[in-house]
Amino acid sequence: MSYWRRHLFLHPETAEQQPLVASSACLLGEPVRHDGGHKQQDHFEQLLLPHLQLQAICPEVSIGLGVPRPTLKVIDADFGPRVVQVLDPNEDVTDALLDYADSTMRKIGRFWPLTAYIFKARSPSCGVDTTPVNPDTPLQHHGSGAFAGRVRRSAPWLPLYEEEDLQTESACAELILLCFICRDILWQGGNWDGGRGLAHYSRLLGELSVPSPDRMPLWEAVRARLSALGKDGRGELVEQYRVL
Ligand code: SF4
């Protein structure tokens, strides 16, 4: 085992496998969009695939909408936003998307150790704060897709990205590093020792300001610390992980 595996991880065994990251399937080139197309991000193959396991998920296909299918939009309704067909707003798929999100997120744990999720921006199912709500009306604003919004509520600690956040090598490097750290922490399961983890990653990343020893603040602190390090500092850290 390399020097870095022994010294960078609380659980060196977690470095043996690539961290697991879910992704909107269309971003990985799967032809699942409403028109049978995709939105493949070519640079993911070069920058992310050597380090991460990317698992493709298309919630609209998974709830049985098929390809091709009618386009969807998000509208405000009395009891919250709804995802409906553009041409027939009576066709409402919100509940199916929410149920699918619930069943997906119930799997997270040691046997589905998800460390991050990459979503397609602006999608009525997958967008994270970028989806047009009430599009093309005076009441338009932005919100999240039904599936992505439910994932965020179910697992507020899970780092969420859209493909537009990952357009530079530096941003991809930050994601890789965060996923390795998340995997290391997730491995601890119910035995999470926040103090030990904090001390470990504080040594690695410099001082981390964390108010309580549970996972979510630590991950937020790690992410904030990575941002504060700037491009050069992040690059140096990621290089350490790359030689694992
Ligand atoms: S944005 Fe989401 S729902 Fe739409 S095609 Fe891509 S994976 Fe499927």
pLDDT value at residue 141 = 98
- The answer to whether position 241 is within a domain reads no
Q: Which domain holds residue 65?
A: 18-165
pLDDT value at residue 41 = 97
- The answer to whether position 68 is within a domain reads yes
CA 64 vs CA 36, 61, 93, 97, 100: distances in Å? 15, 5, 10, 10, 11
When pLDDT is cut at 50, 70 and 90, the band that residue 174 belongs to is confident
203 Cα–ligand 1 center, Å: 40
Q: Mean pLDDT across the stretch 43-62?
A: 94
In this predicted structure, the answer to whether residue 208 has a pLDDT above a threshold of 70 is no
11 Cα–ligand 1 center, Å: 35
Kindly state if the Cβ of 120 falls inside 6 Å of ligand 1: yes
- The answer to whether position 136 is within a domain reads yes
In this predicted structure, the answer to whether residue 45 has a pLDDT above a threshold of 70 is yes
- The answer to whether position 32 is within a domain reads yes
Q: CA–CA separation, 114 vs 67, rounded Å? A: 27
Q: 10 Å Cβ neighbour count for 16? A: 11
Least confident of 71-85, 89-103, 227-241: 227-241
Q: Which atom belonging to ligand 1 lies closest to the Cα atom of 24?
A: 7
In this predicted structure, the answer to whether residue 17 has a pLDDT above a threshold of 80 is no
Ligand 1, from 58, 73, 100: best to mutate by most atoms within 8 Å of Cβ? 58
**Domains: count for the chain:** 1
In this predicted structure, the answer to whether residue 1 has a pLDDT above a threshold of 60 is no
- The answer to whether position 43 is within a domain reads yes
pLDDT value at residue 70 = 98
**What six digits make up the tokens of 164?**
């537009």
- The answer to whether position 117 is within a domain reads yes
Q: Which atom belonging to ligand 1 lies closest to the Cα atom of 27?
A: 6
Query: Burial letters for 117-152: b for 16+ Cβ neighbours within 10 Å, e otherwise?
Result: bbbbbbbbbbbbebbbbebeeeeeeebbbbbbbbbb
- The answer to whether position 184 is within a domain reads no
pLDDT value at residue 51 = 84
Ligand 1, from 125, 128, 144, 150: best to mutate by most atoms within 8 Å of Cβ? 125
In this predicted structure, the answer to whether residue 103 has a pLDDT above a threshold of 60 is yes
Q: Which atom belonging to ligand 1 lies closest to the Cα atom of 125?
A: 3
Q: Which of 8-12, 98-102, 165-169, 237-241 has the highest mean pLDDT?
A: 98-102
- The answer to whether position 97 is within a domain reads yes
pLDDT higher at 124 or 207: 124
Q: What percent of the chain has pLDDT over 70?
A: 68
Kindly state if the Cβ of 118 falls inside 6 Å of ligand 1: no
Kindly state if the Cβ of 163 falls inside 6 Å of ligand 1: no
In this predicted structure, the answer to whether residue 61 has a pLDDT above a threshold of 90 is yes
38 Cα–ligand 1 center, Å: 9
